A = this chain, B = another copy of it.
Amino acid sequence: MNEGRRAARRQVLQVAAKLLEEGGSEAVSTRAVAAAAGITAPALYRMFDDKDGLLAELAAYGFEMYLAEKREALALTPDDPVADLYRGWDLHVDFGVRHPAFYMLMYGTVQPGRRPPAADEAHALLVTLLGRAAEAGRLRVPAAQATRVIHAATTGATLALIGEEPAERDLTTSARLRDTVIASITTDPPASSGSDLASRALALDAALETALTTGVPLRDTEAALLREWLQQLAG
């Protein structure tokens, strides 16, 4: 029974998704969704709190699609965290170009401090990707900073692309920005001899961050001080 309800919700979300893709966000009204799904308005209100709730779930649905694609594609990649950054960039941009209306809902509706709640998981994936690069000693800036830079540049490239007439879209811009930005936050694989101080400090820092939850043979204050030093070595 609960299962049936979830299936019904799912079907309504799929209908709403279709409306969104075909007519943009303004085509998604509670009435239009209910009508297209073949249910009455109160039935819709039984499934979703209100219109904001519906839109939030629709955004979550978009992030689900996005993450599924991205996880599948990245699973095929060999174990090269920096190559994953390149792939991740292209997958992001490609998703935006294929689903512009979803992309606008997910990344384009910018209001100070009002990020769609479902965005967290996508953000977490990016953090993970950069965390892995840091652990491999391939980052030359702290992962948090790298995340911000990548996020800003990727969305900028995607929105610029979406704004162009489909015929005249030019992926060179995205590729150029991608190469520039990723090169600026990563280093070459550490030479076995080299004294690549910054990236090693960051690699240790990333490993520490992971290990802190399971336990580390240092007092909290000691660990905090150590991490501060590592940041200084990295800067």
Contact = CB atoms under 8 A, between A and B. Distances in A.
Contacts of A113: 163-166
Interface stretch (A42-50, A78-86, A154-162, A187-195): A154-162
Nearest to A166: B112
Given A152-B160, A160-B151, A160-B155, A181 B172 contact: no
Given A155-B160, A156-B157, A149 B176 contact: yes
A180 B173 contact: no
Contacts of A173: 145, 148-149, 152
A184 interface: yes
A111 B163 contact: yes
Interface residues of A, number: 38
B163 A112 contact: yes
Contact of A176 (B145, B165, B166): B145
A233 interface: no
Contacts of A104: 110
A20 to B, nearest CB: 14
A145 to B, nearest CB: 7
Interface in A133-188: 141, 145, 148-149, 151-157, 159-166, 170, 172-174, 176-177, 180-181, 184
17 contacts: A100-B110, A110-B162, A112-B162, A112-B163, A112-B166, A113-B163, A113-B164, A114-B163, A148-B160, A149-B173, A152-B157, A152-B159, A153-B153, A153-B156, A156-B159, A176-B184, A181-B181
Given A152-B160, A152-B177, A153-B153, 16 more contacts: A100-B110, A100-B112, A110-B159, A112-B164, A113-B163, A113-B165, A114-B163, A145-B173, A149-B180, A152-B153, A152-B157, A152-B174, A153-B156, A153-B177, A155-B156, A156-B159
